[in-house]
Structure 1
Amino acid sequence: MQASLLAVFAHPDDETLRCGGTLALYAARGAKVHLICLTRGEAGRNTDPTLGDQVDLPTQREKELQDACAALGTEPPIFLGYHDSGRGDRLRRDDPLATINVDPIEMERRILQVIEEIRPQVMLTFDPHGMYGHPDHLVAHRVATAAYTSSGFRQVRVQRLFYTVQSREEMTRLQGGRSLGVLEGLEPETYAVCDCTIAARIDVRPYAAHKRAALFAHRTQTGPLSTLGNLTDEQFAPLLEVETFSLGGVRCAIPEYPMTDLFAGLDVTFAPAPQVVYDEA
């Protein structure tokens, strides 16, 4: 069976920062790599003034995710059409389509439908704290984990579930200097993981240019007014080297711990596709 990977995230850009290199790596190796995005990021903010004051944010962010997936070499994104819940004082409690207000079983069933169609052996989603506690991230974690669990009773049983995680050292680095704003004031002992929790370390250096291109395809989120787009080289460079995951669930033995290949030991084949080449300069 051809290798197949399904990532489940909440907003356009969630897929790139934590696991864009991994998605690019497996797409280049010949796996079918699909991404489910729960929303179009309607409650976000535009940080690129060159796009103008009247930018239609959900339409723009949909296009940005399509461009990011093209840069990573994955299949086009699958949008489930729910709404961004926002957070803090912008939390959309009254929007019936905001993920925080939707029946999670409905979401789970829709993800299971995708699983039946694309037959992934491996799934990726947020860690239990959603990187920094965004309500939509927590929903994505919950419904993706539920779908993985429920798949055990179905024809297509996902073999492995991984969570994107940050080490305490990495989180502390991103909180220093020009800090990544969403991490300000958060305790690494809660929102990061200890080293022994890291179940997989994936070397993504060969796909650093793909990840960088995908990240900056999200113009509304990495513009000159964003903290993400203004990280120092010292902060940003390690994100282009190694991506880390914890283990959410397995239905078969894993050959090593920590792993260096999410598909290691699985009976799958890879059919390499032509690679997109980016100029590092």
Structure 2
Amino acid sequence: MQASLLAVFAHPDDEVLRCGGTLARYASQGADVTLICLTRGEAGKNTDPSLQVTDLAAQREQELRNSCAHLGVAPPIFLGYRDSCRGDRLRRDDPLATINVDPLEIEARILEVIDLVRPQVMLTFDPHGIYGHPDHLVAHRAATAAFSSAGNRGHEVQRLFYVVQTGEEMRRLQGGQALGVLSGLAPQTYAVSDATIAARIDVHAHAGQKRAALHAHRTQTGPLSTLGNLSDEQIGPLLEQETFSLGGLRGPMARYPVEDLFEGVNITYRQEQLCRS
């Protein structure tokens, strides 16, 4: 089968920091890489005062399209839900905010894409949503449920991986000019142990693409952001390797952790025409 990877995230920019290199790597090898984004990130903030943004949803949609182009993957699929925000700004009264939508509806929308692109591998957030964002938790739940129920629809996705951060990675991002969304969070809860890492993916060859994709999100990496001002010491290791835990498995996995998300899966790459077994 043609190699196919499906990533499910909540907002524009979710695709970059933790798995942008992985998306770029498999796209460059000839896999079909599909990205689902639940929302357009309309509850975010513009951190670049030089941008004259009148419609943040449209701006962030275009930023994600630009990011995907840098990563070499297909244009994203937007499901059209709204950013729920978090904390005191949580949008409890917006019926289209993901926290207020029937989870089975979101799962069904993801299943429609699975039927179309027939992935062997899926990626989504870990159970803590990296830093607990309500939309991240919705994406995790819906993607995990879709992985589970896809087996009843004629295409069994072989592997589900979660993007994760180790304790070392999280503490590094909390140090110095800290990544704001991680402020005050305990690594013992939001990070994983080394033994939990099911895949370590070498992405150093795609570091340039990952940087370009990150900074394509101009509203999120402006001079007023913490994401756009991470030091080389903080972001450097994330340009070398990306880590994943195992969310679900159909069939054997010969070793643990793997260095290739498709290792042991019968696939053909579109460009290289390599079959792995």
- How high is the TM-score relative to the length of structure 1? 0.96
- 1:51 aligns with 51
- 2:91 aligns with 92
Alignment size in residue pairs: 272
Cα drift, residue 152 of structure 1: 1.3
Distance in structure 2 (CA, Å) of the matches to 1:184 and 1:175? 7
Distance in structure 2 (CA, Å) of the matches to 1:135 and 1:232? 27
> Tell me, which stretches of 5 or more residues in structure 2 are unaligned?
273-277
Q: Secondary structure at the match of 1:124?
A: strand
Distance in structure 1 (CA, Å) of the matches to 2:253 and 2:167? 25
Please tell me the residue identity of whatever aligns with 1:82. Answer: Y
Distance in structure 2 (CA, Å) of the matches to 1:58 and 1:272? 35
- 1:278 aligns with none
- 1:279 aligns with none
Please tell me the residue identity of whatever aligns with 1:15. Answer: E
> Tell me, which stretches of 5 or more residues in structure 1 are unaligned?
274-281
Distance in structure 2 (CA, Å) of the matches to 1:255 and 1:205? 24
- 2:275 aligns with none
For 1:1-281, list aligned pairs within 5 A: 1-52=1-52, 54-272=53-271
Distance in structure 2 (CA, Å) of the matches to 1:230 and 1:198? 27
Cα drift, residue 272 of structure 1: 2.5
Cα drift, residue 193 of structure 1: 0.1
Cα drift, residue 55 of structure 1: 2.9
Distance in structure 2 (CA, Å) of the matches to 1:236 and 1:202? 16
Distance in structure 1 (CA, Å) of the matches to 2:41 and 2:7? 17
The Cα RMSD (Å) is 0.8
Q: Percent identity?
A: 72
Distance in structure 2 (CA, Å) of the matches to 1:128 and 1:263? 22
Distance in structure 2 (CA, Å) of the matches to 1:142 and 1:271? 31
Q: Secondary structure at the match of 1:68?
A: helix
Cα drift, residue 236 of structure 1: 1.1
Hey, which of these two has a bigger chunk of helix by percent? Answer: 1
